[in-house]
Amino acid sequence: MQDLDRGRKELESGMEKADSSRAAADRAREEALNQRARAEKEKTGAENMQQELQKNMKFLQKKAMELLDKEEKLRTKEVRITEAERGIQARDNLIGEKERSLDKEREELAEKAKKAQAEVVKLKEKLADAEKDTASTAEMEEWRRDIESRVKIVQKKAMDILNREEKLRKKESELRKMAEKLGVRLDETFATTDQEL
């Protein structure tokens, strides 16, 4: 009887241990399933993140290429602008040189015109004085012809000077038009010189 009780107790104990083992195995299996589900979820999340990352990388590469292309276009435009500025500066310098040259030439012409006018006055005075003198008619006539010849030469020079001045005015007008096209402001030198003349 005792053996039977002992056997029964051992059997109950074995059953309890088996139940306990089975419960532990169930818990372990449940934990393994939970871990597997978490791992699957994390894997899906990682794959989604990887896809999003690749998408972002493609977008950033595209933007970088666009920026590089824009920068190249800007650099080309900047070079063209610099070259245009240099060209305008060169033309401005050329116009300035021509303007100074014209001013100098105008001053020289004005000086020559004054001298020619003074010479004409002197010759007329000499002619008037000569008419008053009692010199012979032949000498007087020769002298008069000489004076008239000189007056004609002086008048011709004066006309040449006036013609040159007219040409200078035309050149000045052309220079002003060119300067306006280039957007360059000329100073008031021409106007001042005109007033002096």
- pLDDT, residue 187, reads 53
First to last CA, the chain: 156
Spell out the domain ranges in the chain.
2-196
- pLDDT, residue 135, reads 52
- pLDDT, residue 195, reads 44
Given a cut of 50, the residues of the chain with pLDDT beneath it are: 188-197
Burial class (CB in 10 A: 0-12, 13-18, 19+), 178: middle
CA 34 to mean position of chain CA atoms? 69
- pLDDT, residue 197, reads 44
CA 30 to mean position of chain CA atoms? 75
- pLDDT, residue 3, reads 67
State how far the Cα of 96 lies from the Cα of 89, in Å rounded to an integer. Answer: 10
State how far the Cα of 35 lies from the Cα of 192, in Å rounded to an integer. Answer: 99
State how far the Cα of 144 lies from the Cα of 150, in Å rounded to an integer. Answer: 10
- The tokens describing 191, both together, are 């106007």
- The tokens describing 8, both together, are 């029964």
What dihedral do alpha carbons 76, 82, 87, 92 form, nearest 10°?
160
Indicate the pTM of the whole model: 0.37
- pLDDT, residue 132, reads 66
